[in-house]
Structure 1
């Protein structure tokens, strides 16, 4: 009986241990992110009214039969099993934005760290379609994250001065990733956005 109780307590303790947050490639150190932030062009966002998600083609085939969404689900999930079409049939996903864990892929969205419309109003409106497709499917930089679907929907196309992750402990990583993507793609930031990012980086 004692061994059963101890085993049960151990199982509870293990299940209570938070899963590590996924780490898409290319997240810079805080010091590098601060340097990148200082180098970004500060400029008012320009919404010309012509943004459409269709201008950023998603999702493209990445690996075998896996498209970008399916690739990120496999990359950021735990014990993910997929069928021949690369659709996730089982696994678990930890959402670093809010700390929730999901066991159904349908509860998980793939978030663009810098939202597509935010990119549009900060320089991507001048890009070619090929460049926008690269941005929308970028798995080489910290642009794509597997997160809770309704948290992603709450974020929508908002910048860090308008929306922050529910978990304040993730502010540091969020800001580092956001700045890195904006720097990689030479996108502009607003003064309010820069102030919010600076404050978030100060939590690192």
Structure 2
């Protein structure tokens, strides 16, 4: 009996040891322990900051590349945007009743399940010379340089309680504007996707973003005029993608800007 109990203990110990080796080797234990708040590898190891080879400033679809492809197809990207604009419904704004930020889900959710929240995804995409907080699997951006599309300024970003707001993530089509343009009728899943869609997000100058508030093209445009073509084109892309409407003034404002681009 004593031999049998001893054998069972040895077998159990081997199973536990094997599981520990597997979890450590695959990295699962690291993720689980970090999530639960114990055995945090950041508290044990302080490796040097990793610098990522980011190109920065480039949206999901490169504007210059898109123009080139349109020209190769015998048209222009502005013509394509104007055609898409023609198909956008013109409606008055729906009541803002019921709107709140939480209606679009938790801020900066990890909707693509890559382990990083959306804010850090966009910072990593749009900044150059990016560095990450050690032990975050290259997720948490600690510094970088932004060539701000809204103002044309160069901004040196440093993560911190008093400095992070210098670079903010703007919804090109503001959430509240989306709400009064059709998003009030969406389900929670679609609103969450919209709020975290990279096509609708840009890292920008914090004060410029605050000045924009929830304005549409009829009430606000970037002070950097060289970016206005891409800005209004992106608004058309987003509103077309999600079936959102525009007010008559908004549509006219975008149409005027596109005429300048084509000129």
Which band: TM-score by shorter chain? 0.7 to 0.9
Aligned to 2:27: none
| Structure 1 residue 68 corresponds to structure 2 residue 118 | yes
Contact 1:22 1:96 in 2 (8 A): no
Relative to the length of structure 2, the TM-score reads 0.66
Structure 2 unaligned runs (5+)? 1-54, 67-76, 159-163
Residue 119 (structure 1) aligned with residue 178 (structure 2): yes
* 2:68 aligned with 1:32: no
Q: Greater relative contact order (Cα 8 A, min sep 6): structure 1 or 2?
A: 1
- Tell me whether 19-28 or 78-87 shows the greater mean CA deviation: 19-28
1:106-145 map, 5 Å: 106=164, 107-139=166-198, 142-145=199-202
Q: What residue number does 2:142 align with?
A: 89
More strand by share: 1
Shift in CA distance, 173/20, structure 1 to aligned 2, threshold 3 Å: farther
TM-score, normalization: structure 1?
A: 0.84
Q: Which of structures 1 and 2 has the bigger CA Rg?
A: 2
Residue in structure 2 matched with residue 11 of structure 1 by the alignment: none
Deviations 1:71-116 (A, max 9, x none): 0000111010111332212211111011111112411111001000
CA RMSD of aligned residues (A): 1.9
Runs of 5+ in structure 1 lacking a partner? 1-18
Q: How does 1:122-201 map to 2 (within 5 A)?
A: 122-139=181-198, 142-201=199-258
Deviating more after overlay: 19-28 vs 33-42: 19-28
Structure (1/2) with the larger helix percentage: 2
Distance 1:146 1:187, change over 3 A: same
Deviations 1:159-185 (A, max 9, x none): 000111011111111111000000000
Q: Is 2:148 aligned against 1:98?
A: no
User: In structure 2, what is the Cα distance between the partners aligned to 1:55 and 1:184?
Assistant: 20
Q: Deviations over 1:125-167 (max 9, x none)?
A: 000010000000012xx31000001101111101000111011
Partner SS for 1:202: helix
Q: Does 1:80 align with 2:139?
A: no
